Structure 1
Amino acid sequence: RKYRPRGMAAALTNMVAKEYLSIEQGSKRVFTLTRIKESADLSPGEAILAARLFPSLNSKLTLNRTYNPTLKSATTAFKAKLNNEYGRTNFSTNRQYAIFGAFIAFVPLLAMILLSNNIEAVASSIFTIVATFILGQSVRKAVTQRSRPLILNILTNGVPVLFIIVMLNSFQQFGFFESAAAVAMITYSFCTTALLGLFTWLLEAPTVAGQKLVEQIEGFKLYLSVAEKDRLNFQHPPEMTLGLFEEYLPYAIALGVENEWGMAFESTLSNTELTTASASRSRFGGSRRALAMSTVMASQLESTIASASTPPSSSSSSGFSSSGSSGGGGGGGGGGGW
């Protein structure tokens, strides 16, 4: 349920595999993509991005590490499309249970507020709820945001922690803790809000259809990541060919096993076959180039997309030619044939 630049790298690769785009790498992290086909069997996400960023045949995109708002806008639309297409079908937040739990939890607090004549206690409890909610959001962001190290996320999101400390110190300075009512309401507010936040997060789960899809994806990932000798243990595995390798490469990139998939492909072909394989039979310009896409180019493309779609802190400038692009829908994968 989290978008990562790897998804865009997989989508671009998938559009190359569909022969809708061609890809050329210039320097280390500069890629040029060209629309070479009038139409193709694109996914809904790919179709949206193709229409926005590859409006006509021979449209080119020079993708480097410089930020461009066009890619950011297209990425936002791509993410929204994927969420609308797959989110509700495959995942449920179960918010109805969280709302019911919140109603039960805050009824006693509401009763305490109505029965209390201590305005300081009422104000401090409301303040505690707000502060705890902000702290919870910060902790959740620190745990789930994997683009940076966890400790760095915790440090950069530590302001709410300081906010809580200052709040408690202020309560002590104003003598709120000398009142039994204030202590009870502050304690109840903090514990209730924290527990509600935790269980609202824990209640999120795949639907029945979503869990089935997760299992299929895990099975497909296993197939892509094992060595050739171990793949023979699968039931009726398809023969490893250049066409099969290129067809499944976008899925391997999306699932983070492109290196293993590349090694499996290389182990099945001799150096002579890798060298002399016809480029006309390859969507990537030859078996060597396809193999390079699975080892080095994929990670470089991912980091380039991450940089190009992230706004700088002060200013932004263009990193694309007159028309740019990124793909959609390359990752995932079902698996039922093995």
Structure 2
Amino acid sequence: MFHSDITVHEDGSLTVKETIRVVSEGKEIKRGIYRDFPTRYNQYWGNRTVGFAVLEVLRNSRPEKYFQKGIFNGVRTYIGEQDTLIPQGGHTYTLVYTTDRQLGFFKDYDELYWNVTGNDWTFPIEKASANVRLPQGAIRKIGNHTAYTGLAGERGKDFKAEIDFYGGIKYETTRPLAQHEGLTIAFSWPKGFVTEPDTKAKIRYFYQDNRGLFYGFIGLLVVLGYYLFAWAKVGRDPSKGVMIVHYAAPENMSPAEVRYFLRKEYDDKTLAAAIINMAVKGHLSIKEEDGKYRLLRREKGKASLSTEEIFVLSDLLDSGNEIVLEKENGPKIRSATRQLENRLKLKYRLGKPYFISNKKYFLVGLLLSFIVFLIGGGIDAAETYYLPAFIFICFWLTPWSFYTFGFLVPGMIKSWMNFRGPFLKRLLQIPSILFITFFTLAFLGAEVLVIYYFFFSMSFAVGLLIPFVLLVNVVFFFLLKNITLETRKILDAIKGFKQFLEATEKDRLNMLNPPEKTPELFEKYLPYALALDVEQRWGEQFSDVLANVSATGYSPAWYSGMGTGITSVNKFSSSIGHSFTDALSSSSTSLSSGVGFGGGRGGGSGGGGSSGGGGGGGGGGGW
């Protein structure tokens, strides 16, 4: 049996006297019973914390000892003593407590929406009832009133209600309640009988309930302010200079260097540009046969190679004089690829500081963000008694999140973006792409579960701070990266050179003393045009010039494969760029090659409620 006498006071507080009769068989109930009472509600706009203070505890009309422990959303009151067993048989427990902030204040009425029994009792309730008293005069003007029975969320009507204008309103169930079933009541009365908190009090309550959100938001502003300061100090790139057309690559840079420097990353086209440049310089000849490319060593080149080109040539041909770009020669091609990438990285990343990461400034921001996690989320978690678990998760989540979103997700996106080219190449890429996709999704799944735990252990609003803080760090991880003044000059020169390579005839008329268009000039800068993705535009400039070189068409000494001569120069430029790059990519791909990771309440009286809704609630059991 469960009976509750509820008194609503004019100041909005409640005094509740619960009378609970149980039968002890010495199994579930050995020392007494416990009663859970929710005091903390996670809502979309923040937390709401209600008061709870025990006034009296009785067993069989005599005072009984009790103690309390915090649970994730409230307080558990243990009635009895750890080392004292109660006799078997019937016992009547009386628990008297006071609570506040349980009423709903609406425009035209006030409301009590109250979970009388709670829905988390471990044993059934034979009969549940409640008697509610309102401030003087309110009961005569009572408005909507109803109740709900059953499991949480159900809207059962197994109750009867009676209004006593001199006593109050009484509710009583008409059937026993099974485990986890409960009785919830709701009724309203006109405004004016209970004092509603004013705006000042509401603001004070919100601050008291959401200190974690308040300090977390302040912390987010501090992190954002620090990053803006750091970006203004060290993160802004030097201003672009006046665009000047250049007729040569800057600082004697090779085509591979130009592409790597501009893109800040390596790709297959970087190697293609290097090989074609070696061919133009007379160290290689490229022969196309039946859709395959054969590279043949030539005795003496007419121009010296760059350092990285020397190593690439050595890896490709080794002690031999030729190599076919096909899968069987994949190990050699991959070796040349790694050699070129490592040489470029050594020169432009690990050597002279052309690109500055400003990692020290980022690490400070990362540390500040971690402190925000600890303070904002820790205050919230402490109130739910989840603080130890929160601290452990926080130390685990931070590196996990940055590894997931900083490496795995970009790696997965990059692998799918690179899923193109010949059918064989794409077929061989499928195992590695599927592996990194499933691997990344597994990490993302764990991330979602942990963030859900964060949302569960704190308010929704505080939980939203987590992705915002992470987003700020990810954005400024890239924004803090900077280039030197020398790097700016080189980039401007490269773009000026690119402007020359993609110029139209009209553009050339506005240039000051451009070099004469000759077959030698076309060949010399074709690798650079390929490196800068303007090979077709470069070829279009020489269509007329090279068409008149020979009656059978233009034929470069370092290339053969398109018949007796090349009649469409722009088609040749585009074809040699795309098909040669695809051939390199296909031949260097193998099944064993992986894909890199880098790079509310209220409204219950109007019929909108349910069992388990409103204030109060909780549950209980024996111990």
- TM-score, with length taken from structure 2: 0.43
- Higher-Rg member (1/2): 2
CA distance 1:148–1:314, change in 2 (3 Å): closer
List per-residue Cα deviations over 1:70-97 (Å, max 9, x = no partner): 2212211210101111234421212121
- 2:587 counterpart residue number: 308
Offset at residue 272 of structure 1 (A): 4.1
- 1:23 counterpart residue number: 286
- 1:252 counterpart residue number: 529
Q: Distance in 1 between matches of 2:450 and 2:370?
A: 21
Q: Secondary structure at the match of 2:324?
A: strand
Q: Secondary structure at the match of 2:542?
A: helix
Q: Distance in 2 between matches of 1:123 and 1:100?
A: 21
CA distance 1:25–1:41, change in 2 (3 Å): same
Offset at residue 220 of structure 1 (A): 1.1
- 1:328 counterpart residue number: none
Which one has more relative contact order, counting CA pairs under 8 Å at least 6 apart?
1
Asked if the contact 2:293/2:580 (under 8 Å) is kept, the reply is yes
Offset at residue 35 of structure 1 (A): 1.0
Q: Secondary structure at the match of 1:23?
A: strand
- 1:320 counterpart residue number: none
Asked if the contact 1:10/1:250 (under 8 Å) is kept, the reply is yes
Residue 135 (1) aligns with residue 404 (2): yes
Q: Secondary structure at the match of 2:296?
A: strand
- 1:147 counterpart residue number: 418
Q: Distance in 1 between matches of 2:548 and 2:467?
A: 68
- 2:494 counterpart residue number: 217
- 1:330 counterpart residue number: none
Offset at residue 23 of structure 1 (A): 0.8
Please list every run of 5 or more consecutive structure 1 residues that lacks an aligned counterpart in the other structure.
316-338
Q: Distance in 2 between matches of 1:190 and 1:67?
A: 47
Offset at residue 282 of structure 1 (A): 4.1
CA distance 1:130–1:200, change in 2 (3 Å): same
Among 256, 269, 272, which residue is 1:9 paired with? 272
Please list every run of 5 or more consecutive structure 2 residues that lacks an aligned counterpart in the other structure.
1-263, 421-429, 595-623
List per-residue Cα deviations over 1:56-114 (Å, max 9, x = no partner): 5x610111256712221221121010111123442121212112222333345456799
Residue 273 (1) aligns with residue 549 (2): yes
CA distance 1:45–1:312, change in 2 (3 Å): same
- 1:164 counterpart residue number: 447
Q: Distance in 1 between matches of 2:396 and 2:367?
A: 19
List per-residue Cα deviations over 1:8-67 (Å, max 9, x = no partner): 111110000110001100122x111111125651111111122223335x6101112567
Q: Secondary structure at the match of 1:288?
A: coil
Q: Distance in 2 between matches of 1:202 and 1:125?
A: 25
Residue 100 (1) aligns with residue 367 (2): no
Q: Distance in 2 between matches of 1:290 and 1:41?
A: 30
Q: Distance in 1 between matches of 2:316 and 2:567?
A: 25
Per residue, is there more strand in 1 or in 2?
A: 2
List per-residue Cα deviations over 1:199-235 (Å, max 9, x = no partner): 1122223322212111111111111112233222111
Q: Secondary structure at the match of 2:566?
A: helix
Asked if the contact 1:113/1:122 (under 8 Å) is kept, the reply is no
Q: Distance in 1 between matches of 2:548 and 2:378?
A: 83
Offset at residue 119 of structure 1 (A): 1.1
Asked if the contact 1:67/1:307 (under 8 Å) is kept, the reply is no
Q: Distance in 2 between matches of 1:162 and 1:105?
A: 23
Q: Distance in 2 between matches of 1:84 and 1:216?
A: 22
Q: Distance in 2 between matches of 1:47 and 1:191?
A: 48
CA distance 1:132–1:81, change in 2 (3 Å): same
List per-residue Cα deviations over 1:238-266 (Å, max 9, x = no partner): 00000000000000011111111111111
- 2:578 counterpart residue number: 299
- 1:32 counterpart residue number: 294
Q: Distance in 1 between matches of 2:583 and 2:507?
A: 34
Q: Given residue 551 of structure 2, which amino acid in structure 1 is its aligned partner? A: T
- 1:231 counterpart residue number: 508
- Aligned length, in residue pairs: 303
Say which is worse superposed, 193-202 or 287-296, in terms of deviation. 287-296
- 1:120 counterpart residue number: 389
Q: Given residue 268 of structure 1, which amino acid in structure 2 is its aligned partner? A: V
Superposition RMSD in Å: 3.5
Identity of aligned residues (%): 26
Offset at residue 188 of structure 1 (A): 5.3
Q: Secondary structure at the match of 1:239?
A: coil
- TM-score, with length taken from structure 1: 0.76
